Structure formats: C-alpha cells, structure tokens
Structure 1
C-alpha cells in the first residue's frame, strides 16, 4: 500500500513538473499568438440599411462567387444565342434547276420553230407557232411543279421577249437567286429574299418588258431552304453557357466606397461576403485556433525533448517565450503600418529569433521555430483577409531565418553574429529580387534598390538586436551560452586567479581534469565546453583550506597527520559545498555551481573511513560519505570520473599504459557499482566510450620519455 502511494505521489509530481516546464509555457505562447493574429482572420460586420450612404469604404474579406448574378448572366448569354438553321443545298440546286429548265424549254421551243417550215413540217410543230401555242407547248414539256406554280402569263411574257434579253435576264435571275438561297431562306424572310432579287432586276439594264416576268418568276423560285436545327441550337447554347465566367467577389475587392449609396445589389454583395452576418465570423476564428494549437504542439514537443535530456530550465523556458513574443510582436508592428501597395514585411528583422535560439538552445530548435514564425508571418501580413496567407512573406521569413542558422557557424564567438548578418543580407536580397522578377512586372532600378534596402535593413537590425539582447538572456535569465562559458574560462576571472594564487596544485589538477572531461564529453555529444569550464571551478572550495589537500602540500607536513580522521573527513567533504557557496556569491551560472556540488556525488572517503575504523569499530559509513547530490548531467558525471582518475594516475610513480588502464577501469567500475551514475542520463555505451577516451588521453599525457644521460661531475 505504501509503495502504491509513493508511486502515485511520484506520478503527480511528474505531471506537475511537466505542466510547469512544457504545458504552461506553450499555453502562454498559444494565447499570445492567438491574440496577435485574431484580427487577421476575424471579419468586422456592419449594421447597414438599404438606400443609405456608406460611412466608410468596405472591402470584401473573402473570395466568394455571386451565384445569383452568375445565373442571371448565364441566362442572358443563352438567350442572346440565335437559333441555328441548316441550309438545304438540295433545295437550292432544285430551285435553280427549275429556273434553268424554264429558260432552256423556251429556247428549245424556239429552236423547234426555226427548224420547221411549211414545206416540211415536223411531228411537233407545223408552220410558224404563235405565242399561245408556244406556251401550250412549254406546259407539255415542263415539269409538273413548274406548270402548277408558274402561270401562263409569265411564260407568255418570257416567250415574247427577245432571245438576247431573255438570256441576260436568265443570267441575272439565276445569279441573284443563288445568292439569296445560299444565304438561307427561312419562312419569315421569303419575302425579303424576293425583294432582294426584285431590287437586282429593277436596277439592272434590262428592258422593262423582261423585268416584270423575271420578278414574277422569282416569286416561284424563292422558297424556304433554311430549316431550324435543334441539335446545333442546343450545342450553341451550351457552349455559350459554359463560356460565362462566374461572377466572383475577390478578397480585398472594394464592395462599397465611402459615401456611396447602398443599392439593393450592393446590399446583397455585402450579405454574400458575410459582412452583415456575425455568425459567420466564428469559423475563421476556429480555424485560427486549430492552427495555433498545431504550432504550440510542435513547440511543446521540442521543449519536451529538451526536458528529457535535462536541457530545459526556467531560463530557457523564459527565453523561448520572450524570443517568440519579440519576433511576433515585431511582425505585428510592421504589419500595422503596411499598406496593400507596399511590401514592408521585407524590413522585419525576423532572423533575430533564430540567431538567439541557436546561441541559447540548439540548432534543431532554431530550425523548428523558423518554420513556425514563417507560418505566423504569412497570417499577420495577409492584409486582414480571412482565409488568406501571404505566401511571399512566409517564404521570405523562412529563408531569412534559415540563413541566420546556416551562417552562424561559430556560436562561441560573439562577432560570429555579425558575420552571420552578412550571410542573411545576401539571402534577403536574393529572396526580394526573386519575388520582384517572378511578379512579371517592370521595376525601375530605384525600386529594386529600395526593396533590396529593406532586406539589408532586416539583416542589419537582426544582427544588432541579437548582439544587444544576448547579454540580457545570459545574465537576466541565467542562460549559459558558449560565449558566456568562454568568458568564464578566461584566466583573468577573479575566482580562477584565486585558485591559481592560493592553491596552485589544485589549479593544475583542474586544468588536467578540464582537458580529460572536455575530450570525453565531445566523444559522446555532450557539452565539452561546459565540462571544461566546470572543471576549472569544480574544486574552488579547496581555496578555503588549501593546505589540507595533498596537491597543495609543497614542502610542508600533512596536517591530517595530527587531527582525527573524522575531522579530516569533515574538511574534505565540505569543499564541494564551500565551492558552491563561493560560486553562488559571485553569481556564476547554476550549471557550474551544480558541477561543483555534484562532482563527488555521495562517494565514500575510504582512506579516512578505514583509518577511523581501526580505532572505532562502530563507525558509520554515512559519516564519511559526501552528502551529494549525485551527478545529474552527463558533464557532471564525466567530471566526477575524470577528477578521481587524474588524481589517481598522478599519484603513480611510473604510470605505464597497463597501470593507467587498470586505474581507469577500477574507478569507472567503482562509480558504477556505487550507484554514483544512477541519476545521470549517461548510458553504458557512452560510458564505455568515455572510458576509452580517458585512457587514450592519459596515455598521451603520461607517455614514456627518453632518459637523457646525466652529466658526470669532474
């Protein structure tokens, strides 16, 4: 029962820790992101009545199709399509053939008459034929359709006409008839076709005697030859309907200008765009909330990864929140002075965020945040049009930030930020120019220089602000950056000078431990610079009583020989905590303080313990153990091992390779079996690499040397 209760309490503590280190910070960021971007998706609604004047210019917040207007436009377009008719060429040929038949028949009758004579009559005609006889003869040889439709008077007049005039009339009538019929004659325009031929005949040079029968004959010849085609008409109407472009109200398009009267059509457009309906505004807000949730989920995931490797503390959490607020706030401020025709987002110093994050945390987190900041930037610079994203701004912000990450190669040099700023400048200019060229618009040299200047200003401000804010994060939030570590490693630091002057043996020992621990840390991917600087300060507590530690006992007797083992142990055990107190007093980073406190863990002072046991068989082992805590980080654990190894190997008279291997293995196994490495994230595989690296480093330091011959005295 007690074990279950302890597990329950432990689980509650873990949840509380997770809430404070991850969930609460990302929730704060989520609320901030939402408040900054909500007006970019939330549409303002208006209380407007029809037939009143607009008090301000109103733009559409969305792109939406006006379906009613599209239907009306389609209906008008379809109605404007004329009916399609199929012209019968057979009918055209038939009517022309009828006319030709009439004239040919008349010519034939005349030919028959000329060939006949009173002395030799033929079977068809005897002697000279009168006009009536010719008409009767024509009716015998002409097609029934002609004889039924053409009256005898027309034939009589044609027979009476001179052959020359009749031939000219035939030519004129047939050419006019073809022209009319080829263009198509419908029922409703038969008369117009006849009138057309009549006009051609009327204004010709033909004699009046031939004109009248030709006009009458045209009334017979002109018939309907253009018939309504249902399929062609329907296809034409479908094509016309499909060619109609939808009537769309574009996002950002002006619907009503200030002072303009709200007509019924404008009122419907405002309603369609959702500017009169408050209920529709909730949907973009919900979409924004979902996007913000995804963003903070990614940030929370990355923070949780840092928390698992003990790389997340209050300072780093605060820095993530503050950097995000600074970057997003800068975007928002610039967006508030941006007008639709300008591209002021080019001047936003967005790279400041990734430059600081890479310095204070790590490169992976900087890359993740650069993507998320770019997404937020595309929303902030969307012109407050719900559902729209400014892709240009997002792409520009992404490349600008990635340039900062890529070109910031040496995070141990403060001037590296300025060098990275040069790289950011180049990428900014390239990105600005690619957008200008992709727009397919002509820009003057002055405009190109102005926009490029925005990119240069962005890079310059990013570098300057990053350099200016970095000390604040390092000192104000207690974040230990590589630059801060390098400054702490300077021999001019007061505490390091104190070690050097008051306990030179300890100083030399610390330098040796620093060399070993840095190399071992870099092999397993831990922070080698932190291990080096931590090693420099780990024994600062020995300066309280330097002569009680063997490395500082030069030409003096050992004071432990004249005091009780219990007192000796107390002096020795106090040095990590004396050192931690001194480090706190001088406001050194907590990582350095923790290394000083943890570098002995809860190990046993075996020498004094067994010495006391010789006279006191009831001695308690706990009285001769360091209070701890045990090493909590990889760096502290490696320094714990290197501290003991360096002292042990230095005590050897002849440190051969075999002896070094034996001592290192003995100390590593002792720390492992004693449970001193149980609370640090060091794995057995990493411990094996550390073991091998320490041995190689020690063999290089204590390699065998040539014994030079001594000069004999004369």
Structure 2
C-alpha cells in the first residue's frame, strides 16, 4: 500500500493532467449540440459531389428566410390598426358648446344668423367626431385600414385618412362654414373650439401587435413535401434554387429529429472521441516541443481554461443568436498565449480551438477558414504587445482580414453583391474592438495564474521602481554593474532571438541579494578597506555565495515573479568562488569544493544562460589592464569556454552556434566600452 501511495505521489503531475484532460473533454462535449451532423457538404452554385441522393424519409420543404420575411412584410403592410374611441369626449364637447356658444358671439348678431351659426357649430362637431380626432400625429399610411374599438368592441372600420388630426381641425371648420356661407365668423369658431375640442382616439398598440402576431402564427413555414425514396439530386448536378432549399430542409430535418436513446449515446461517444483526439494532440505537442510548459501544471491548466472559455462563449452566442457569431473575439486566444508563451504555441492552440468550434457553428468551413487566417495574422503582426500602438494596428489588420475574407465567401456563395448584408461588417468591427480587451484580460490572468507577460516585465524594468531604487541607493556599484549586464544581455538575446525583455529584467534584479552585505563585494568598496581581510576564505566564500539565497528571499518578499527569481537562482550556476577557493587551497591541501560552490541550479533556458555569460564577463572585465582588441577577445573566450567545460549550460536549450554569436556580441560591446582615447594636452 505504501509503495502504491509513493507511486501515486511521484506521478501526481501526470495524474493531474489526465484528470484535467478528462474534465475538459466532458465539459466541451456537454456544451456541444447533441444532434447528429448532416453527412453531406454542399454549397449553392456548385456540383453535387456525392452519389445520387434519395429522400431517406418523408419531410417538408421549408421556405427560405427571405420568403418568410416577405410574407411577414406583406402581413404587416395589410394589417389593421386598432384605435380606442372615448365616446364620453364627444358628449362632453357638445355640452360645453351649448353653454359657451353665446359667449363666443356678440349680441348684435341677428337671431336668424345666430341660429345658423349654432347649427353650423353642431355640424362641425359632428364632422370632427364622425370617426374621431387623433390624440397625436401618427405616421401611418393614409390607405391603412383602422378598426375603431369602443369598450374593446369593434364598432367600425375606416381608412386612416378619415381620422382627423389635430392640425386639421381648422380646415374642417373652414369647410363647413364655406358651405354655410358663414366664413366671416371663422375666427369666432376657431377661438371657441380651441378650448372645447379634445381628441378621442388613442392608438391601441397592444391589440394591434397581438392581432399581427396571430396572423404571423398562421404562416406556413413549408411549401411542399418530399416523399421517401424520391430522387432529390443526382451526382454532378449543380445545386441551385429549389434543389438547394430541399437539401437545406433535409439537413435541418435530419439534425433536429428526435434521436433514439441508442443513437444519442453513439453521437455523444463520437463527439467525445473527436474532442479527446484534439486535446490529446495539444498535450502531445506540449510534451514534444514545449516540455517546460508541459511539466508546469499551472500553465497547462491555463491553456485548457482558455480553450474552454472560448467554446463556452461561442456556444452562448450561437444559442442566443447565430448572426452575432463573428462578434466573439476568438483572436484574443492567440494574443494571450503569445503574451505568456510564444507564437508557435499560440497558433497551435488557436487552430485546435477553432477546429473544436467547427462543431458548434453552421457553415463550419467558412468559419474555420476565417478564424484560422485571422489567428495567423494576429500571430504575425503583434510583436510587442506592451506597445499599445502595435495592438491597435494588429486589431485593424485582423478586422480588415475578416471583412475581405467574408466578402470573398459571400460572392462565391451568392454570385452577386446585391444581397450582401453590410451589417455583418459591423459585427467584425465590434469583434476588433472586443479584441482590445486583451490588455486587462492579461492583467487578470497574471494575478489568477501567477504568469508573467511582457507588459509586467516592462513595469519591472523601470529603474524607478521601489526595489531598484533601494538597490541604487544601498549598493550603487552593484546597481551600475546590473545595468551594464542588462545592456549586454539584451543585445545578446536580440542576436539569437531569445526573450530580450525577460533577460533584461532578470539582469537588473540578479544581484539584489548583495544589499544584505554590500561592503563584502568589491564594486561597493569605496574606502579601500576590504572586510574579507579579517575573515577566513571559507567564511568569505559563504558570504559571497549567500547573496544568491538572500536575493531569492528579497525577491519573494517583494513579490517578484518566479521567472525573474530563476535568474537570481541560476546566474552563477554551480560554479566555484575561485579566488577564495584558491586562497584556501594554498593554506590547506584538503578543501571541500562544496564549501566554495554556489548552490545552483545551473541555467535551464537560453535567457538564464545568457545572463550567466554576461554577468561573468562584465564582472571580470573590471580586472582588464590596458585592454586591447586581442585581449578582450581572449578574455571573453576564456571565461565562456571555462563555463562550457564545467557543464554549466548542459540544462539550457542553447546551441554552440548561439554561444558563438553571444561571444561575438560581448566582444564588440566590450571593445566599445574600453575603446582607447587619445591623450588631450593639459
């Protein structure tokens, strides 16, 4: 039992990856559609490539979306508008007219004329309220049919043009008075009715919409039927018009039919196999080409989490409305992975994710082509994500690629641009804007997963930061040495294509441990007194080697990322403090090399190997007397060759060719630093 537990413990990282793999597969399959996929691929205007297709069962031929839309437009145009009529308003106006009529006309008017005026007023009210007065100006066509509702009961149907708008009241008054030859009293009537007339018609939107929806529900979504064993299309026949719609109807019916329990489980099993295969390819890629990432469970979890997130968001959008599918910023995935890892890994994960999403979306080939091309453009264009302008330029290029590729696909499918849906381009622009969210997302990921991006490295390289300020104040000599090493390391990294930003930051912080005992390091001794004179060689060596341990402690207290701490741990590897080792050996023949060796480990990446070379060369270069080109070349060769002989770079993935390139850079840089000057006369 104990052996079994020990075996589990030794393989806990592999077991964790297996569980992560299983959980990711199950979650992705759970998000997938649970119906079958139509086994034929076809496009409008292209020949049918498969064998003759006969109807496998009876099915209805569905109308196209355009046909349904046209029917709905026709129903909307012919729909009836419903208005509520308030009869109490007309009664109220008539009563008010009786009481206020005499006040509107002077007593000097003859009685006969007054009778005619009173009669004309009643006629005006009858005209105005024959069908009613609108409470506001509605923008409906004059030929629309209107149903008048009184207490929710339909009383009459008229044309909308028969209803009186409020600005038409004066014209009605004029029309009645001209017929009665009483136009000279127009002002009196206008003044009288200005206060009396009130609208009595209100648009009943809820009833109008309800009736329209009832009409919509009566629409037949099918136009014909295909019987079982009927020939649908022959091999080589061009797919177009009605044939295309029949095939789309068969595909829809095939994918939406109710599956038997056995079929359902077979489909689920098949989906699981395909998803597991895709994720397995990703793990194999990491194991073969990115072993450092594969061994780090946090990084593997981070990659799987991002894949799951993209599948989840895409599935949500597809379930809500498929037309918004291109708003999902899939290109955030390669951007994020490139920021934390490298371009090759970012592109590989992006392709795997897009292949998985092909099961979720319709027109999967078109979708996958667009997303893979956009991902490639993302990887090729974004070189330095911490520079904001680069991100904006890249987002612009991604959006342009989306638009161009979609336009090309649309023309291929439709053969014309007349029916092009320009609103789709707006979705691509929104997708580009959503991609800008990558910056805050990277910050969140850094905090959640403890990863380091170039943006964080840029912040850490600021010499005004708290820790580097303390380094420059407490140990100015060490700080100056670190700056020189940073410049040499950055130039070397650029020469061989390593991460220049990472190695620069590592160089700036690699000697922070010297802040604990600054006087014991020669670059900080300004008084001429050397405290090592009072110590034994063993004690001195211990103080010197301890600056690595002290540096790690200081780094952890200041929350420096592990990638930066790696430079502190490895910048001396397992090399000897040779000066004190030799001094001790002169006094005693039996010397333990472990007492004079740095704790290690040896450098395990190109960047940490570069720092080790640059640190040793820069520190030792201070001892050069009367430097010349030949001396500098021999000096650099000796130091780095000695490190190679000691096997310091065996764990680093650095080649001899790259080491030669680094030597060349160091020689050139040191030659510039120690260039000879002519003596100027005093």
Match of 1:459 in 2: 432
Aligned to 1:412: 386
Partner of 2:466: 494
Other-structure match for 2:91: none
> In the alignment, which residue of structure 1 is the partner of 2:454?
482
SS in structure 1 at match of 2:358: helix
Of 602, 611, 615, the residue aligned with 2:574 is: 602
Between stretches 297-306 and 500-509, larger displacement belongs to: 297-306
1:506–1:542 Cα contact (<8 Å) kept: yes
2:515 is aligned to 543
Partner of 2:239: none
- Supply the distance in 1 between the matched residues of 2:463 and 2:512 (Cα, whole angstroms): 14
Alignment match, 1:253: 249
Q: Mark the structure with the bigger radius of gyration.
A: 1
Aligned to 2:626: 654
Against the structure 1 CA distance between its residues 572 and 40, is the aligned structure 2 distance closer, same or farther, given a 3 Å change threshold?
farther
Task: Decide whether the 8 Å contact of 2:485 with 2:507 is kept in 1.
Answer: yes
Matched-pair contact (CA < 8 Å) for 1:609–1:621: yes
- Aligned with residue 406 of structure 2, among 425, 432, 437: 432
Structure 1 residue 366 corresponds to structure 2 residue 313: no
Report the CA distance between 1:443 and its aligned residue. 7.3
Q: Structure 1 residue aligned with 2:596, among 577, 599, 624? A: 624
CA distance in 1, matches of 2:293, 2:56: 59
The answer as to whether partners of 2:514 and 2:551 remain within 8 angstroms in 1 is yes
Whether the 8 Å CA contact 1:22–1:303 is kept in 2: the answer is: no
How far apart in 2 are the matches of 1:254 and 1:618? 89
Distance across 2 between alignment mates of 1:252 and 1:442: 21
1:574: how far off? 0.6
How much has 1:350 moved relative to structure 2?
1.5
Q: Distance in 1 between matches of 2:571 and 2:607?
A: 10
Distance 1:244 1:321 in 2: 46
Q: Which runs of 5+ in 1 are unaligned?
A: 1-7, 44-62, 71-241, 257-268, 383-388
Once the two structures are superposed, the pairs formed by residues 560-599 of structure 1 within 5 Å of their partners are 560-599=532-571
Distance 2:617 2:559 in 1: 29
Q: Residues 636-666 of structure 1, C-alpha deviation per residue, up to 9 Å, x if partnerless?
A: 1221122111111122121212222222222
Listed as ranges, the gaps of 5+ residues in structure 2 are 39-51, 60-228, 235-242
Equivalence map 1:290-305=2 (5 Å):
290-305=273-288
Give the equivalent residue in structure 2 for 1:611.
583
Q: How many residues align structurally?
A: 488
Change (3 A) 1:282 1:19: same
Q: Tell me: CA distance 1:626–1:64, structure 2 relative to 1, closer, same or farther (3 Å).
A: same
Specify whether residues 22 and 527 from structure 1 end up closer, same or farther in structure 2 by C-alpha distance, changes over 3 A only.
Answer: farther
The answer to whether the aligner puts 1:320 opposite 2:303 as a matched pair is yes
Residue 326 of structure 2 corresponds to residue 346 of structure 1: yes
Partner SS for 1:379: coil
Q: Which of 630, 639, 646 is 1:674 aligned to?
A: 646
Is the contact made by 2:490 and 2:500 (CA closer than 8 Å) also made in structure 1?
yes
Inter-partner Cα distance in structure 1 for 2:505 and 2:677: 30
Residue of structure 1 in register with 2:24 after alignment: 29
Question: Structure 1 residues 331 and 415, CA, compared in 2 at 3 Å: closer, same or farther?
Answer: same
Does the 8 Å CA contact 2:511/2:551 hold for their aligned counterparts? yes
Q: State how 1:43-54 maps to structure 2 within 5 Å.
A: none
CA distance in 1, matches of 2:232, 2:590: 100
1:319-349 superposed Cα distances (whole Å, 9 cap, x missing partner): 21222122111101001112xxx52212222
Give the Å deviation of 1:583: 0.7
> Where do residues 143-542 of structure 1 align in structure 2 (5 Å cutoff)?
245=232, 253=249, 275=258, 277-308=260-291, 313-338=296-321, 343-382=323-362, 390-440=364-414, 448-464=421-437, 466-542=438-514
Whole-Å Cα distance in 1 between the matches of residues 541 and 8 of structure 2?
Answer: 36
Q: Quick one: distance in 2 between partners of 1:441 and 1:609?
A: 82
Q: Is the alpha carbon distance of 1:687 and 1:283 closer, same or farther for their aligned partners in structure 2, counting shifts above 3 Å?
A: same
Distance 1:420 1:668, change over 3 A: same
Which secondary structure does the structure 2 equivalent of 1:39 belong to?
Answer: coil
Displacement of 1:698: 1.6
